[in-house]
A and B are shown apart, each in its own frame.
Chain A
Amino acid sequence: GNSVTQMEGPVTLSEEAFLTINCTYTATGYPSLFWYVQYPGEGLQLLLKATKADDKGSNKGFEATYRKETTSFHLEKGSVQVSDSAVYFCALILNQAGTALIFGKGTTLSVSS
């Protein structure tokens, strides 16, 4: 079946540290890939996306590259801030009508000053 696996948290970093959150997927066909972020007490917001192999999504200093050969979409940021503390979800959607986003379990990031 179709699924997303992301690294378990929590991830605890100091401000300005480098961040990597691993995400791998299993899909029938060629999905689009997403990272969503959820700040405390809020809904999910789209952080970045990539729709085909080798695409790089980027936003707010975060980046992720769609790697078909390793079925991965790892999230990276060179220098995290306290305001980046949130839960991050990797997700996929199959590129066919009538399908819905499939999420990983989420990774909690905590950044301290």
Chain B
Amino acid sequence: DAGITQSPRYKITETGRQVTLMCHQTWSHSYMFWYRQDLGHGLRLIYYSAAADITDKGEVPDGYVVSRSKTENFPLTLESATRSQTSVYFCASSEEGYGYTFGSGTRLTVV
């Protein structure tokens, strides 16, 4: 199916564990983004990527790691999960000059 797919849809993990959220897009868009959505904060940018092997920090990058070895994939890793990272995570892709397309989100709970 064409589009942008996030997995898993829901995840519960324990404090201190490493967890990876996956994002896959089928359009070969150059740009990909990770946002987190929290009540009272809206969406805040964690990391973004302008192309394969090019990534840059957003507003709230601490505690997260990204990679982009292939254009279509942009995984987000929490190296040692904390309760403050409980959130809904959205991946998005875009091509220069066009709007963003968002995935359906991953709801992560850290206990």
Give the B-binding residues of A (Cβ under 8 A): 34, 42-46, 49, 89, 97-98, 100-106
User: With A and B bound together, what is the CA distance between A42 and B102 in angstroms?
Assistant: 9
A45-B102 in contact (CB<8A): yes
A-B contact count (CB 8 A): 43
Chain A residues near B92 (CB, 8 Å)?
44, 101
B102-A105 in contact (CB<8A): no
With beta carbons under 8 angstroms apart, the residue of A45, A49, A100 that contacts B33 is: A100
Majority DSSP secondary structure for residues of B touching A: strand
User: With A and B bound together, what is the CA distance between A43 and B104 in angstroms?
Assistant: 4
Check B74 for interface membership: any CB of A closer than 8 A: no
Give the A-binding residues of B (Cβ under 8 A): 33, 35, 40-45, 48, 50, 56, 58, 90, 92, 96, 99-100, 102-105
Q: List 22 A-B contacts (CB under 8 A).
A: A42-B105, A43-B102, A43-B103, A43-B104, A43-B105, A44-B92, A44-B102, A45-B102, A46-B99, A46-B100, A89-B42, A97-B50, A97-B96, A98-B50, A100-B33, A100-B48, A101-B33, A101-B45, A101-B92, A103-B43, A103-B44, A104-B42
